[in-house]
Amino acid sequence: MKSVLSLSVLCIALAACTADTASAPQSDASPAARADAGDAAAPSSAPAVEGAAPEPPTHRFAFAERTATPGASAVSIVGSEPTPCGPVLVARVASIPLDDARVLPDWVVEFGASGRQVRRWGVPYEALVTALDGERVQFRTEAGTYWTDASGAVEQADANGIDAAGTRPASLVDGGAALDCPAAVAGTEGEMQCATVRDAAGQERRLAVETVCS
C-alpha cells in the first residue's frame, strides 16, 4: 500500500512540473538576436562629435603689386590682369590684405578738419567706393558690392548691388564737394582724390580715395 501511495505522489509531482514548463513563455529569438536587441535599446554613451567650423568665404579681388622690394605673399595669388598702368595681381582672399609683403590694396582714408588721418581702409584695385556707414566703407567691383572695416574684414552686400537706402551705388567721392588733399593722406603709392561726403546717417565726413589709373 505504501508503494502505491509513493508512486501516486511521484506521478502528481511530475504532472505539476510538466504543466509549469508548458506554461512558461518561450522566446523565438536566438541569443545573438536578443543581445542585438539589448544593445539597440541601450542609450549610447559616446559624446556627439561636432562638425568643424565652416571656412570663411573667399573673394576674387585684384590688387596692385608693391613696387618697393616685394616679398613672398601670404595670400593665394591666382593670376594677373592687364591694366593701362601695368598688370595687377589677382588673389583669392577672405579679407583685404592690409600689410602683405607683395600685394597692395588701394587706400580709402578718412581725415578730420585738421587734416589728420582718422581711419584708413583697404579695398581692391580701382574698387568704386559707394557708401560710408559708421566705421565701415562700401565698395563695388565687377564681382559685386561689399562692406569692409579697418581690420580688412569683408562682407558681401546685396547681390544686386543695392545699398541700405535702396539706391544703386555711385562714386561717393564724385558726388561730394571736392577738397584739397592734406599732406597726411598724400603719402600713399597712388594719387588721392578728396571730398566732403555724407555717410549713411547723413553726417558730413572727409574722405580720400585713390584715383583711377589712366
Rounded distance between C-alpha atoms, residue 104 and residue 6, angstroms: 111
pLDDT recorded at residue 1: 43
pTM, to two decimals? 0.69
The enclosing H or E element of 123 equals strand 117-123
pLDDT recorded at residue 37: 42
For the chain, the 3-state helix, strand and coil shares in percent, each to the nearest 5, are 15, 35, 50
pLDDT recorded at residue 168: 54
Rounded distance between C-alpha atoms, residue 167 and residue 189, angstroms: 32
Rounded distance between C-alpha atoms, residue 18 and residue 16, angstroms: 5
Rounded distance between C-alpha atoms, residue 61 and residue 58, angstroms: 9
Helix and strand numbers (H, E) in the chain are 2, 13
> Which residues pair with residue 28 across a beta bridge?
none
pLDDT recorded at residue 53: 62
pLDDT recorded at residue 84: 87
pLDDT recorded at residue 17: 39
pLDDT recorded at residue 127: 94
pLDDT recorded at residue 48: 46
**Which of 170, 132, 137 has the alpha carbon at shortest distance from 151?**
137
Note down pLDDT in tens along the chain; length 214 residues: 444 434 343 434 444 434 444 444 444 444 344 434 444 444 444 444 466 667 778 999 999 998 777 778 899 999 999 998 888 999 999 999 999 999 999 999 999 999 999 999 999 999 999 999 999 999 999 888 999 999 999 998 865 555 555 555 578 888 889 999 998 886 556 789 999 999 999 999 999 999 888 6
The enclosing H or E element of 59 equals strand 59-65
| Per-residue b or e along 79-88, where b marks 16 or more CB atoms closer than 10 Å to that residue's CB | eeeeeeeeeb
pLDDT recorded at residue 27: 45
> Which residues pair with residue 196 across a beta bridge?
177, 206
3-state DSSP call for residue 110?
strand
CB contact set of 140 (below 8 Å; sequence gap of 6+)? 127, 128, 130, 146, 161, 169
pLDDT recorded at residue 211: 87
Domain boundaries, the chain: 59-210
pLDDT recorded at residue 166: 57
